[in-house]
Amino acid sequence: MQDLDAGGRELTGGIQALHSRITRLEQVSHELVNQKNVDEELDLAWREWESTFDAAKDSIVLTDGEFKIIQANLAASRLFAKPIDQIVGKTCWQLVHGTDHPPRDCPLEKAKTTKKHEEIELHLPQKGVWVADSVDPVFDQQGNLSGAIHIIRDVTDRKQAERLLRKERDRAQKYLDVAGVMLVAIDAEQRVGLINKKGCQILGYNEDEIIAKNWFDNFLPEKNREEVRAVFEKLLRGEVGALEYYENPILTKDGDQRLVAWHNTILRDDKGKVIAALGSGEDITERKQAEQALKKSNQLLKDTGEMAKVGGWELDLSTKEVFCTEETCRIHGIEPGYKLSLEEALNFYAPESIPPLKATLKKIAETGEPYDIESLFIPRGSADKIWVRSLGRAVYSGGKMVKLAGTFQNIDKYKRAEEALRESEEKYRDLF
């Protein structure tokens, strides 16, 4: 439309200049009838007019104040598939639409009201083509509409290219919209050029409210804008690697903040010039909140276990591996995270405690009944026996027992105190 506008205005200006020249010469001719040179110049001007008019590749029609065609060039005759004498006297909408009344979006009616250049694109079904109609109104000295100049250009090829481009864009948009993450393209001017459905859902905006907006100024919290903008600019300059991971909050339409994890890459044109950055963003707000809650819960559990001297354990029945919490590892005298085999775990117990413990484990594996036993235990690197208490229960999945899990506690202090109290009571009874 910009090419049509520029070319059309230039052609319109030339036609108007020739038309004004002919009108001026006609006026002079009436005053100076006997001057031969005026007639010659008038004849030359008319030949120039007809040459310019009929040589134009675009269709040109001139209309009067009633919008009836008073003159048309050869291109217009070919476009409407009618001789010029069958075009003259008709209105444009009679030729295009076959109606006696102008359509609602008629550019002539608009030009008459706005008194300025108007354009519209029309489909001509009888020719199977699309045209762009550029209209410039002409007014007399009193400001009344005296006519109009139409330049009609065939834009079928452009419309077909636009349709193919729109089809490809729609197809690409469908691929983007099925993605489970936010996809957003930001051009070198920091404007949003593309965003998928997931991105719109996360931000809470319609696509039209996002496209062409500055990404950093509109969708990032103020305190994070410069930091993220610096990462974006480094990405465009190639100073940071494509797909480099980082996290930053974004602002939703409701004013909430969502934490997004990004992987980015750059988009280039046919000449290899960087034109935009494409970001793939996953909303990790809930995950981060869950991680923080779990971390807080684990720390509370750890602190509680240290104070109560209680740890946890879990036995995988398929691998026979035992997982221990930090407190359980501490009681065993092993490093946190150390994985014990079942046989290795049993060897920590004093020899007299191993047979009853094995019998207990066999029973829970057969019946699923929980247990609570006290045993003598020998931590790694120690020759002394301590008392420990172990509670266990079965864990099922799909109706099948897959794990044993429970707690592990150092109760040696309490057992020693218990034994001392019992000995004291026996001595007291003997003395009594």
| Phi (first) and psi of residue 254, to 5 degrees | -80, 0
What's the whole-number average pLDDT of the chain? Answer: 80
pLDDT digits (tens, 9 = 90+) for 307-322: 656 888 899 989 999 9
Per-residue pLDDT for 129 more than 70?
yes
What residues does 259 pair with on adjacent strands?
A: 249
Per-residue pLDDT for 301 more than 90?
no
pLDDT digits (tens, 9 = 90+) for 328-367: 898 999 998 888 999 999 999 999 999 999 999 889 888 8
Q: Looking at the domain that runs over 297-418, which CATH code has it been given?
A: 3.30.450.20
Per-residue pLDDT for 10 more than 90?
no
| Phi (first) and psi of residue 113, to 5 degrees | -85, -45
CA distance 52 to 70: 17
The number of CA neighbours under 13 Å toward the Cβ of 8 is 24
CATH 1.10.1060.10 fits 179-283, yes or no: no
Give the closest residue to 262 by CA, choosing from 177, 342, 202. Answer: 202
- For CA atoms 172, 178, 181, 182, give the dihedral sign: positive
Q: Mind giving me the DSSP string for 46-67?
A: HHHHHHHHHH-SSEEEEEETTS
Q: Looking at the domain that runs over 2-159, which CATH code has it been given?
A: 3.30.450.20
**Tokens matching residue 201:** 């859902």
As a whole-number percent, the residues of the chain with pLDDT over 70 amount to: 81
Q: Mind giving me the DSSP string for 170-223?
A: HHHHHHHHT-SSEEEEEETTSBEEEE-HHHHHHHT--GGGTTTSBHHHHHS-HH
Using a 10 angstrom Cβ sphere, with 0-12 exposed, 13-18 middle and 19 or more buried, the burial of residue 392 is: buried
How many CB atoms sit inside 10 A of residue 3's CB? 11
Triad 84, 86, 87: Cα angle to 5° = 65
The answer to whether residues 138 and 116 touch, using CB atoms and an 8 Å cutoff, is: no
Per-residue pLDDT for 326 more than 90?
no
Q: Mind giving me the DSSP string for 317-329?
A: TTTTEEEE-HHHH
pLDDT band with cut points at 50, 70 and 90 for residue 168: low
CA distance 281 to 185: 11
Per-residue pLDDT for 153 more than 60?
yes
As a whole-number percent, the residues of the chain with pLDDT over 90 amount to: 23
CA distance 403 to 401: 6
In one-letter notation, the amino acid at residue 382 is: S
* 309 vs 401 pLDDT, higher one: 401
Give the closest residue to 197 by CA, choosing from 172, 176, 212. Answer: 176
Average pLDDT over residues 394-416: 88
Per-residue pLDDT for 46 more than 60?
no
Q: 90-122 burial, b for 16+ CB within 10 Å, e for fewer?
A: bbbbbbbbeeeebeeebbbbbbbeeeebbbeeb
Residues in the chain: 432
pLDDT band with cut points at 50, 70 and 90 for residue 374: very high
What's residue 266's pLDDT?
A: 83
What's residue 32's pLDDT?
A: 46
Per-residue pLDDT for 298 more than 70?
no
Helices (H), 197-341: 197-203, 215-219, 222-237, 285-308, 326-332
The answer to whether residues 225 and 241 touch, using CB atoms and an 8 Å cutoff, is: no
What's residue 321's pLDDT?
A: 92
Beta-carbon contacts of 309 under 8 Å, excluding residues fewer than 6 positions away, are: 327, 331, 409, 410, 411
Average pLDDT over residues 248-254: 92
pLDDT band with cut points at 50, 70 and 90 for residue 16: low
How many CB atoms sit inside 10 A of residue 71's CB? 18
pLDDT digits (tens, 9 = 90+) for 198-232: 999 999 999 999 999 999 999 999 999 999 898 88
Delimiting residues of CATH 3.30.450.20 domain(s) in the chain: 2-159, 179-283, 297-418
Beta-carbon contacts of 325 under 8 Å, excluding residues fewer than 6 positions away, are: 301, 302, 305, 311, 312, 313
What's residue 217's pLDDT?
A: 94
* 432 vs 324 pLDDT, higher one: 324
Average pLDDT over residues 125-131: 77
CA distance 371 to 408: 12
Q: DSSP letter at 338?
A: P
CA 330 and chain centroid, separation: 49
Q: What percent helix, strand, coil does the chain show, rounded to 5?
A: 45, 30, 25
Residue 271's SS3 state is: coil
Average pLDDT over residues 90-114: 76
What residues does 252 pair with on adjacent strands?
A: none
| Phi (first) and psi of residue 183, to 5 degrees | -120, 125
Average pLDDT over residues 240-249: 75
Per-residue pLDDT for 18 more than 70?
no
Average pLDDT over residues 380-395: 91
